Chain A
Amino acid sequence: MSRKYLILTIVAIIGAVVLLFLPERSNQNEIKPEDLFKEVTNPSRYLSVDHVAQRIIEQDPSILLVDVRSEDQYKEFSLSGSVNVPLDSVLSVNKQDYLNRDDLDVVLYSNDDLYADQAWILCARLRYKNLYVMKGGLNEWYASILNPKEPSETAPIEDYELYSFRLAAKQYFLGGSSIEIDGGSQKENIIVKRRTKKAVTAGGC
C-alpha cells in the first residue's frame, strides 16, 4: 500500500478514536445555568395558601400536594391528599413519578417555604415542569387559613372577601363547629323580647 493511503487511514482512525473518547460536555437532561437562573428568578412558581386551599376545597383533580418534610413530620400532620417526598430523597428514583409529571400541577410545601424552594430548584435543573411552591408553607397556612385575621374597618372589600373565604376554608378543614361567633358560644339561648305595641295616641282626644 502506498504511504499516502496509510497516512490517510491512520489520521482517520485517530480522529474517530478521539471522538469516541471525547468527554460528554452537554448533558441533555439538564438545563443550562443561564436558563436555570431565569427560571429561578421568575416568581410565578409561588402559589398562595389561599389558592391551594381553594383547589383542595374544590377537590381539583389536577393538583398534587407534595410534603417535603421528614416522614415523621408528615405522619404527624399534613394537608389532606398530600404525598411525602422528604427533601433528602427528592432525587431518588422511586420519587420521580411524583415530581416529574406533565398531567398534574405538583405543589411542594414544607413548614416554611425554604425546603420546598430548594427542592424546586433541584428539580428545575432537571427540566421538570409543572412544579410549584406554596409560599409560606404550613406556617402561613396556620396563620392565614386556620387563624384568619379580621380586616380593619378601613380595609377594602377584597380583604373582607378574602377573610370570609378563609373563614369558610377554616370551617372546611376543621369541621363544623370550629368557628367562634363573637360574643358567646352557639349554645346561648337568645331571648327575644317582645315589645307590646302601644297604641298610637291619636292627636286630639
Chain B
Amino acid sequence: MIELTKTRRLTIAVVAFILLIIIGFLTLRNPKYIYSISTQEMLDELKKGNGQTDIKELEEILTSGDNSVVSVDLRNPYEFEKNGLVNAVNIPVSEIMTDESISFFEDMQSELKEVIIYGENHLVSNSIWMILRQLGFDNINVILHDYSVLQDQNVKIINLSQNAENKLETPITDFAEYINNNAGISIENSGQKEYTKQIIPTRRKKKAATAGGC
C-alpha cells in the first residue's frame, strides 16, 4: 500500500475541495422564474393602487385605436370566441405561465407597450395581475370588474353598464346602521368578540437554520 504522507493527504483534500466547488458551480441551476419584487413591495403597489385601470379609460384606449396598448383576455377560448373584444389577445389563465405567454409579456415590456388584462371576474384578473407583477412585469394594468360589464352587443364596441360605476370595495350599506335599526335586541359595539374566545397568539420560535454537521 502506498503510504500517504501528510503532504500527499493535504494535496488530495485540497484538490477534492476545489473539485467540489467546481461541480457545484456547474450544476447550479438557475430557477426558471424569480420574483423581482418582495412581498412588501407588492403590498406597497397595492396601497398605491397602481395598475388598476378604470373601465372608462379602457374604452377610451380601445376606441382611440392606440397601438401601444394591448388588451389580454384571460378567459377560456370558447368564451373569447363568443364575445371577446376586437384586437384583444386571448391568453387563458391556465396558459399564463407557459414559455409562450411569458415571452409574450417580455416582448410587450421590451417594446414599451402597455398591457391591460381582464378576466371572468375581479378575483381571477387580480390574482393573475399580482403574479405577473411579482415576476417583474410592471407594464400590466388590470380591470377589476366582471367581464359581463365589458360585454359587447352586435357591433364589437364596449357597452358600459350601470355596474361599472360602482367601485368594488365599498360596502353596500352602512352595516352598523342596518344592524342598529333591525336588531331585535340592542347590540352594543356589535361585532367585537361577542363570544368569549381566547385568542392565544403563539409565539413561534425561529428555527435556527440547521447547519451541516453538528
The answer to whether A76 and B18 touch across the interface, beta carbons within 8 angstroms, is: no
A168: chain B residues at CB < 8 Å are: none
CB proximity of A27 to chain B, nearest CB, Å: 8
**Stretch of B9-17, B53-61, B75-83, B147-155 at the chain-chain interface:** B9-17
Q: Is B43 an interface residue (CB 8 A)?
A: yes
Of B21, B94, B134, B185, the residue contacting A41 (CB under 8 A) is: B94
**Contact between chains at A114 and B194 (CB < 8 Å):** no
Q: Is the C-beta of A48 less than 8 angstroms from some C-beta in chain B? A: no
**CB of B172, distance to nearest CB on chain A (Å):** 5
Instruction: Tell me whether A12 and B17 are in contact in the complex, defined as CB-CB below 8 angstroms, given that A5-B11, A77-B190 are known contacts.
Output: yes
Q: How many residues of B contact A (CB 8 A)?
A: 63
Q: Nearest chain B CB to A2's CB is how many angstroms away?
A: 10
- Chain A CB within 8 A of B89 CB: no
B18 & A11 in contact (Cβ 8 Å cutoff): yes
A interface size (C-beta, 8 A): 66
Q: A37-B96, A174-B182, A175-B185 are in contact. List 16 more A-B contacts (CB 8 A).
A: A5-B7, A15-B17, A32-B33, A34-B97, A36-B134, A40-B127, A76-B176, A77-B179, A91-B39, A91-B40, A137-B169, A138-B171, A139-B172, A142-B175, A176-B184, A178-B184
Q: Are B14 and A8 in contact (CB under 8 A)?
A: yes
B65 within 8 A of A: no
What chain B residues lie within 8 Å of A30 (beta carbons)?
Answer: 35, 39
Q: Which of B154-184 contact A (CB under 8 A)?
A: 168-173, 175-176, 178-179, 182-184
B205 within 8 A of A: no
Residues of chain B within 8 A (CB-CB) of A74 are: 191
Given A110-B169, A112-B169, check contact A36 B183 (CB 8 Å). no
A12-B18, A110-B169 known; A64-B126 Cβ under 8 A? no
Q: A residues within 8 A CB of B14?
A: 8-9, 12
Cα-based distance from A41 to B97 in the complex (angstroms): 11
Which residue of A has the minimal Cβ distance to B176? Answer: A77
What are 17 A-to-B residue pairs whose CB atoms are below 8 Å?
A5-B7, A30-B39, A34-B32, A36-B131, A37-B131, A77-B176, A80-B194, A81-B197, A82-B191, A91-B43, A103-B202, A112-B168, A112-B169, A139-B172, A175-B183, A177-B184, A178-B183
User: What's the Cα separation between A139 and B167 when bound, in Å?
Assistant: 12
Within B1-26, the residues touching A (CB, 8 Å) are 7, 11, 14-15, 17-18, 21-22, 24
Indicate if the CB atoms of A111 and B18 lie closer than 8 Å.
no
Of residues 121 through 175 on chain A, the ones whose CB sits less than 8 Å from some CB of chain B are 121-122, 125-126, 137-139, 142-143, 146, 174-175
Complex CA–CA separation, A92 to B155 (angstroms):
50
Give which listed residue, B31, B93, B202, contacts A26 with CB less than 8 A: B31
Residues in B with CB closer than 8 Å to A41 are 93-94, 127
